[in-house]
Amino acid sequence: MATYEYPRPALTVDCVVFGLDDEGLKVLLIRRGLAPFKGRWALPGGFVRVEETLDEAALRELREETGLKKIFLEQLYTFSAVKRDPRERVISVAYYALIKLSDHRVQAATDADDAAWFRLDAVPELAFDHAEILEVARDRLKGKVRYQPIGFELLPEKFKLSQLQELYEQILGRELDKRNFRKKFLSFGIIQELEEREQGLPGRPARLHRFDAKAYRKLLEQGFHFEL
Amino acid sequence: MATYEYPRPALTVDCVVFGLDDEGLKVLLIRRGLAPFKGRWALPGGFVRVEETLDEAALRELREETGLKKIFLEQLYTFSAVKRDPRERVISVAYYALIKLSDHRVQAATDADDAAWFRLDAVPELAFDHAEILEVARDRLKGKVRYQPIGFELLPEKFKLSQLQELYEQILGRELDKRNFRKKFLSFGIIQELEEREQGLPGRPARLHRFDAKAYRKLLEQGFHFEL
DNA sequence: ATATATTTGTGTTGGTTTGACACGCTAAGG
DNA sequence: CCTTAGCGTGTCAAACCAACACAAATATAT
């Protein structure tokens, strides 16, 4: 029990978790077991504890939901409409996360039937103001991906350039020219060409690449500006 | 008095208020009258009431501090370090505001001696984590000014192109070429050339201009993308 | 074995945008 | 009337961007 001189809003974090698989870009949702909005899909999230930062709260929730550590996570926006939670005043700090669906299978999330991945064009009706939060997250991702190399957070360690291009097309919502895309991206010097090639698929085998974080940091220090 | 099952952090808003005068870009600070950090300069701000949104809280604080309405105001980031307030757990949602120092004299703020404008290169030591908040605000402004025409919020209704250019130079922290700047900015078609000219100063009188919000909105709908 | 389907990888060109750069014009002030 | 201060303007070379098609390497089907 805690007592204060003035009433305080409750504080939660909600996470928009993006993942990529062969069907495209997806978002992780959880089915609510309790009122309000019982049975509705919602963003994973929960209350902030008084002894943790918001980042810690978001990471904790994500660990609890997905079993993952080392996730790319950024604060998105703080939502504060007075009636956004019908029970009482709840202010929510939204985060968005990018995870490599390819590497780690997301555990609790996928085999429990109360959590699932949804394609961004097939998201069901959401609880609270979560549709709005998701919208803001998509816009942020779309904006950010153009001037920060965060797309790699969604791809496996080693990837084909065609995967990278498809990812960008998904996020930006438009098609890109293959030759121009390759030319431009390679010219940055932030991805390494590996000798390895992907085999077992029809078509000419693709050379694999890897994001070179070290080279990127070095370029950043020299005032390099990544763009598109 | 309010009682809750679990302890809750307190919630505040803090505002980074930018203004422009003939000495350059400035930020509004308030001298604290109470502990902690008594006597130190700090960002204006205060506690969020339980029946208002964060935007409303920020606007209310700004009205109380500066007497201004119709201010450009945007949420910046939510700061949550556990020890950021030595008294108790306080989470602060930071906003930044741009105001036309030229038009409206800021009342309570300027004649009270417990509030003052500081040049960005001469900001005193600040209370709490406000130095960090200010830093984030500067970065945001610097980033945002390049792809959204928010600089006008700092200028008078009618302005000279040289003022606009100086503003951009201040925010971006580098010099710009006069001819290229004019060419580019005028090519967007979002500022109107007025017939009026500024008089009374030495040198050839400058033609005045005005931001054309209507034209800007129209261009936006057509997918226009402002940049630099 | 051969043919077919699939996916990768590669260059050029014309148009557009950017960045560098210098001087005459018009007013105020002495 | 002369000086000083600030405004307003155009060109050119270099860099960048968008559009465009076909051969190479593999898997699969027949």
Say yes or no for a CB contact (<8 Å) between A11 and B91: yes
Q: Is A113 exposed, middle or buried (0-12, 13-18, 19+ CB in 10 A)?
A: exposed
Per-residue confidence band for A104, with pLDDT thresholds at 50, 70 and 90 = low
The alpha carbon dihedral of B170, B172, B176, B181 has a sign of: negative
Q: Are B30 and A26 in contact (CB under 8 A)?
A: no
Q: How far apart are CA A166 and CA A24, in angstroms?
A: 9
Cα distance between residue A32 and residue B104, in whole Å = 50
The answer as to whether B154 is a domain residue is yes
Taking CA–CA distances from A94, the nearest residue in chain B reads B78
Asked if the structure places residue A38 within a domain, the reply is yes
- A116 plus A34 within the same structural domain: yes
User: Is the domain of A139 the same as that of A155?
Assistant: no
Both A179 and A132 in one domain: the answer is no
How high is the mean pLDDT of chain A?
93
Q: Which tens digits make up the pLDDT trace of A52-97?
A: 999 999 999 988 877 778 899 999 999 999 999 999 999 999 999 9
State which residue of chain A sits closest to B77, comparing Cα positions. Answer: A77
Which residue among A144, A168, A194 closes a domain? A144
A105 and A201 in a common domain? no
Inside any domain, residue B214: yes
> Which residue has 């909105």 as its token pair?
B217
User: Can you give the pLDDT at residue A109?
Assistant: 47
Q: What's B41's domain CATH number?
A: 3.90.79.10
Whether A147 sits with its Cβ under 7 A from any strand D atom: the answer reads no
Shared domain check, B75 and B156: no
Tens place of pLDDT per residue across chain B (228 aa): 999 999 999 999 999 999 999 889 999 999 998 889 999 999 999 999 999 999 999 999 988 877 778 899 999 999 999 999 999 999 999 999 999 987 766 654 444 458 889 999 999 999 999 999 999 999 999 999 999 999 999 999 999 999 999 999 999 999 999 999 999 999 999 999 999 998 889 999 999 999 999 999 999 998 888 998
In a domain, B227, yes or no: no
Q: Which residues contact A20 (CB under 8 A, 6 or more apart)?
A: A26, A101, A102, A154, A155, A167, A170
d(Cα A149, Cα A226) in Å, to the nearest integer?
7
The predicted pLDDT at position B109 comes to 47
Give the span between the Cα atoms of B45 and B15, in whole angstroms.
Answer: 6
Among A144, A177, A206, the domain boundary falls at: A144
The domain total for chain B is: 2
Domain assignment of residue B46, given as a range: 10-144
Q: Both B44 and B132 in a single domain?
A: yes
Q: Tell me, yes or no, whether B206 and B127 share the same domain.
A: no
Residues B20 and B90 in one domain: yes
Flag whether B155 is in a domain. Answer: yes
Count residue pairs from A and B with Cβ separation < 8 A. 87
Domain with residue A196: its CATH number is 1.10.10.10
| List of chain A residues whose C-beta atoms are within 8 Å of the C-beta of residue B7 | 2, 50
CA A98 to chain centre: 3
Residue A228: inside a domain? no
**Strand B90-99 relative to strand B10-21: parallel, antiparallel, unpaired?**
parallel
Spatial separation of the C-alpha atoms in residues A211 and A158, rounded to whole Å: 8
- 10 Å CB burial of residue A134 (0-12, 13-18, 19+) is buried
Asked if A104 and A195 sit in the same domain, the reply is: no
Domain boundary among A125, A144, A163: A144
Q: How many residues does chain A have?
A: 228
The confidence score (pLDDT) of residue A107 equals 57
Look at residue A1 and tell me if it is in a domain: no
If asked whether residues B21 and B115 sit together in one domain, one would say yes
Q: Are the beta carbons of A4 and B6 separated by less than 8 Å?
A: no
> Is the CB of B38 within 7 Å of strand D?
no
Q: Which nt sits closest to A197, CA to C1'?
A: C8
Q: Is residue B4 part of a domain?
A: no
pLDDT at residue A111, rounded to an integer: 44
In this structure, are A208 and A135 located in the same domain? no
pLDDT at A110 over 90: no
Residues B23 and B101 in one domain: yes
Residue A108 has pLDDT above 60, yes or no: no
